[in-house]
Amino acid sequence: MSRLPTLRPRPLCRSLGSAALAVGLIAGLLGAAPALAHDFWIVPSSFHPAAGGPLAVRLRVGEHLHGDPVPRDPAQIERFALVGPIVGPNAERPIQGPPSAEPAGYASMPGPGLYQIVYRSRRDRVDLPAAKFEEYLTLEGLESISALRRSRGESAKPSTEVFSRCAKALIVAGAGPQSGFDRPVGLDLELVPEKNPYQLAAGAELPVRLLYHGKPLAGAEVFALSLHFPAKTIAARTGRDGRVVLRLPEGGFWLIEAVHMIPAPPETAVDWESLWASLTFDLPAR
């Protein structure tokens, strides 16, 4: 069973402090490691594009849904695609764009239906002083990592880490069927809605499952942010089945996100690896 969500104010900076945040914003645009400090999400030009029409896809990094643009960086892109409602060899189309472009990509909607925009980044590295790393673990609900460091006598040790992004957005083209919203797309860390957000309304409960390598991930904190109240966060921790249920009080733009951290594989030559998952959609008004 998932734990009940709580509504709480979110710290104005969830990780590195105000001075480092300013540095991190600049570095994030250059693809540098301090971008770890920020939320990352997808913003399509429309969540309701015309069937057969154009679509621009923007990437954002920031805090409280105040995001800076992330121009297209081919060196950082592992996967950037539009995944259609029909399973098959033509279900996924790459989202194209020139290097350094903003928006980061463009696509043409193949037809009506519900689509998923999928973005998977390559690993990047960040090193943090011990105090900042412990603060970051607390703010992201990663107390288990803090406890593991404490058991190893490493609480005062600076951290070395690699991180990557696993982002999705749900969009509906035209008036076609809206199947496929709950279909995993194979991201390493993935938020999968178990109800179609476009068939809900403000005040409804949205069950979400968090998957790690395709299997339910227990004990992870999931956050939900609304564009109307970005400084407040709905938070719930996944149960043994990887599920949370989030009551979304407002219509409009929503960002759901989660972070998972593990001891890093030996080939990375760092201590920790984190995966950052996000999901964006447009919830109908009441």
CA distance 232 to 248: 12
The pLDDT value recorded for residue 15 is 34
DSSP H helical ranges for 214-274: none
The pLDDT value recorded for residue 86 is 72
Q: Does the pLDDT value for residue 183 go beyond 90?
A: yes
The pLDDT value recorded for residue 89 is 65
Identify whether 103 is preceded by a cis peptide bond (ω within 30 of 0).
yes
The pLDDT value recorded for residue 30 is 34
CA distance 21 to 273: 21
Residue 34's identity, in one-letter code, is P
Q: Does the pLDDT value for residue 12 go beyond 80?
A: no
Query: How many other C-beta atoms are found inside a 10 Å radius of the C-beta of residue 178?
Result: 17
Query: How many other C-beta atoms are found inside a 10 Å radius of the C-beta of residue 228?
Result: 14
- 3-state class (DSSP) for residue 153: coil
List Cα–Cα distances, 184 to 84, 105, 189, 244, 267, in angstroms: 12, 22, 10, 16, 28
pTM equals 0.87
Q: Mind listing the pLDDT tens digit for each residue in 197-214? A: 999 999 999 999 999 999
Q: Are strands 77-83 and 6-9 parallel, antiparallel or unpaired?
A: unpaired
Ordered by start, the domain boundaries in the chain are 6-283
Q: Does the pLDDT value for residue 6 go beyond 80?
A: no
The pLDDT value recorded for residue 177 is 78
The pLDDT value recorded for residue 5 is 52
Which residues lie below 8 Å from residue 110, measured CB to CB, with a gap of 6+?
A: 52, 82, 84, 93
Average pLDDT over all residues of the chain: 87
* Mean pLDDT of all residues in 211-231: 94
* Mean pLDDT of all residues in 81-102: 89
Residue 75's identity, in one-letter code, is A
Of 20-24, 39-43, 64-68, where does the model show the most confidence? 39-43
CA distance 24 to 259: 18
Percentage with pLDDT > 70 across the chain: 86
**Lowest-confidence region among 5-14, 118-127, 128-137:** 5-14
The pLDDT value recorded for residue 85 is 81
* Higher-pLDDT residue of 176, 217: 217
* Higher-pLDDT residue of 14, 255: 255
Backbone torsions φ then ψ of 273, nearest 5 degrees: -130, 135
Tell me the pLDDT band of 31, cut-offs 50, 70 and 90: very low
